[in-house]
Structure 1
Amino acid sequence: MAKTGWGFFSKRRRGPVGHVALSLSMDRLALVVRPTDGRPVRAYERAAGADVGATLQSLVREADAVGMDCEWVLEPGAYSLQQVDKPAVPPAEWVQALRWKVRDLIGFPIDDAVMNAFEVPGLDSRGRPPTLYLAVARKDELRPRIAQIEASGLQLSSIGISDLAWAEAVRTLSPGDDSQAALVIDARGGTMLAMRENTLFVARRFEFDGDDQRVLREPQAGRTERLFERIALELQRTLDYFDRTHQRPPPRRLLLLSGLEGLEGLGASLRNSLGLDVQSVSPESAWPELSALPEAARVRVAALSAVAMGAGRA
């Protein structure tokens, strides 16, 4: 996970009593707790309720996580991901060097932007300029959440993004050096990753529109098939981009992770339409703490387990 460059973390903290990976949205809270005293890892998910801050405080107390270091993993809607040319400066100076470039890519003043960057591998070896992924969020939207996290008793130590959290999860769930893709479906849309040699090369996102949301609420054979076709089209665009940009064979293996009910048949549809080897896995096989959650929630929280297990071990 890329954990520097956001500009919120300058003070040194005492040694942690444990590590927490947290996701926080208007409708759901989830956290995975890894104590440092030998107690087992635990996973939780709750509806956010009318007062997100109060729900988080209650959940942190229930998890006995007060005082633990916390990585907050931003949901896709909380940041944008831009691909930009890599500046010719040391990594610690990437963000500052790119601030002027991002002015025309975001819809708010640059002074309200907070950013982090990570490298897109392999392009320079193929005669193309090396590039970075630049994650951009709005300070004014993060600050209220940061206040809620600190008020809950957690010690916010880093902010991550869901794309990198899911890449970490894929490395555990489907290891291998060959090219592979992953598709993570959530209530708002899908995150598509293309990886090779356990490294993230491409990350793309698509959002469900109103018609898609209606199909998910009220599945019907014909409409569900059209939704599957749209998902296949978005996935094919990602595979084509990987092939065109990185000049490597596109992935033929797809790890499908759906945190939604009602999408039975999606794997078979993608297998038939794209000729992919579609694999579905049980995240609890890698992270037993997820077994305590409902089946769909195990997928939704899997990336947090990957983050929590890697926290403090770099």
Structure 2
Amino acid sequence: MRVAAGLIGIECGPQGIALAQVERREDGSPLLQRCEFRAVPPAEQEAALKALVQEHGLQDMPVNLLLHPADYQAHLLDAPEVAADELRDALRWKVRELVGNSLTDYVVDGFNLPEDAYRGRARRSFCAVLDKARMQAGERLVRHAGLRLQSIDITEMAFRNLGLLAGAEGINLGLLRLRSSEGLICIQNGSELYMSRRIEQGLDQAGEDFANVILEVQRSLDYYEGQLGKGYIARLLLLPMKRLGEPTLAALSSGLAVHVLPLRLAELFPGQPAAELDDAAQAFCIGAVGAALRQEAG
């Protein structure tokens, strides 16, 4: 079966750089051709990415650059009454009071949440605010490596792509990532992202007692089912973790009123060698994989 041109997802974080390459079969199903993490400090990531591109002959491939969660602010705002092509400019005006410096120092973008969210109340927009200097640094990194920057994405949308591949069509599906200091839960139905919420409790705070983490997650689930009025959540997928994966899964499964399952690359990409990574490597790479799964509308 012929394979269509692929897309590379890249995420740079404080501990290293992750790269994933996804190509599409004729039927649209994805092939995970490559998935790697290089543990290098930020000052060395530009050189590391260039070496990785040369090593695998990836020059001039299109890239979806994923912003690390620490690199942007996320806001939920009342949706402006404007046409879709005017949304970005309208959101810039709305975030003026939320940003301390001049808006000229920032890039603002966003999207409207589905019309049936929030039980018919005022429609909401998800807005991301990025320091312009950080965006320019990302552009330089991609260009220096010999790649082509096609798009820049946020973690919430990368998770949406993972959820869609994991079977979100027609059901309410949640994805949960827990890190040392914080977490993120996203809930979608099909390709529509309905809710995204940062969780203040991380693994460092949890220790051996996951009660506070469970409480934060359950509040998010209750908010989705109650305030948004979207009904019960069929599954909550726990993304790969660098540590404490099994005890976290066990604690969530026994403490939450939802079916909790681990999300593993080998199940998203069955029989594909690039997906056979240990949990820590998957945790570092999962965002880049979600970015590489992006498909342009139309």
Write the letter of the residue equivalent to 2:81: A
After TM superposition, give the deviation of residue 17 of structure 1 in Å. Answer: 6.5
1:77 is the counterpart of 2:70: yes
Aligned counterpart, 2:246 = 264
Contact residue 28 and residue 48 of structure 1 kept, 8 A: yes
TM-aligned CA distance change 1:92 to 1:185, over 3 Å:
same
Contact residue 232 and residue 273 of structure 1 kept, 8 A: yes
> 1:252 and 1:309 mapped to 2: Cα distance?
23
> 1:313 and 1:94 mapped to 2: Cα distance?
17
Contact residue 240 and residue 279 of structure 2 kept, 8 A: no
Write the letter of the residue equivalent to 2:238: L
TM-score (norm 1): 0.82
After TM superposition, give the deviation of residue 313 of structure 1 in Å. Answer: 7.5
Aligned counterpart, 2:9 = 21
> 1:246 and 1:141 mapped to 2: Cα distance?
34
> 2:219 and 2:205 mapped to 1: Cα distance?
24
After TM superposition, give the deviation of residue 299 of structure 1 in Å. Answer: 4.1
Write the letter of the residue equivalent to 1:119: N
Which residue, 33, 43, 49 being the options, matches 2:35? Answer: 43
Q: How does 1:83-232 map to 2 (within 5 A)?
A: 83-123=76-116, 126-207=119-200, 212-213=203-204, 223-225=207-209, 228-232=210-214
Aligned counterpart, 1:13 = none
After TM superposition, give the deviation of residue 131 of structure 1 in Å. Answer: 1.2
1:31 is the counterpart of 2:19: yes
After TM superposition, give the deviation of residue 105 of structure 1 in Å. Answer: 1.5
TM-aligned CA distance change 1:19 to 1:133, over 3 Å:
same
After TM superposition, give the deviation of residue 301 of structure 1 in Å. Answer: 2.1
After TM superposition, give the deviation of residue 132 of structure 1 in Å. Answer: 0.8
Q: How many residues align?
A: 288
> 1:158 and 1:88 mapped to 2: Cα distance?
26
Aligned counterpart, 1:275 = 257
Secondary structure of residue in 1 paired with 2:122: coil
Segments of 5+ residues of structure 1 without an aligned counterpart are: 1-15, 216-222
Aligned counterpart, 1:10 = none
1:239-262 Cα offsets, whole Å, 9 max, x none, are: 132134312324252111132222
TM-score (norm 2): 0.86
After TM superposition, give the deviation of residue 137 of structure 1 in Å. Answer: 0.6
Write the letter of the residue equivalent to 2:8: V
> 2:64 and 2:159 mapped to 1: Cα distance?
14
Aligned counterpart, 2:277 = 293
Secondary structure of residue in 2 paired with 1:99: helix
After TM superposition, give the deviation of residue 207 of structure 1 in Å. Answer: 4.4
Secondary structure of residue in 2 paired with 1:265: helix
Write the letter of the residue equivalent to 1:254: L
Q: Which moved more, 1:162-171 or 1:139-148?
A: 139-148
> 2:278 and 2:199 mapped to 1: Cα distance?
25
Contact residue 186 and residue 300 of structure 1 kept, 8 A: no
1:190-219 Cα offsets, whole Å, 9 max, x none, are: 11012234421000112457xx5377xxxx
Write the letter of the residue equivalent to 1:279: L
> 2:124 and 2:236 mapped to 1: Cα distance?
25
Contact residue 194 and residue 238 of structure 1 kept, 8 A: no
1:110-135 Cα offsets, whole Å, 9 max, x none, are: 11110111121134783311111011
Write the letter of the residue equivalent to 2:38: R
> 2:288 and 2:133 mapped to 1: Cα distance?
24
TM-aligned CA distance change 1:18 to 1:182, over 3 Å:
closer
Write the letter of the residue equivalent to 2:92: R
Secondary structure of residue in 1 paired with 2:37: strand
Write the letter of the residue equivalent to 1:280: P
> 1:182 and 1:30 mapped to 2: Cα distance?
20
> 1:188 and 1:60 mapped to 2: Cα distance?
32
Which residue, 33, 55, 62 being the options, matches 1:62? Answer: 55
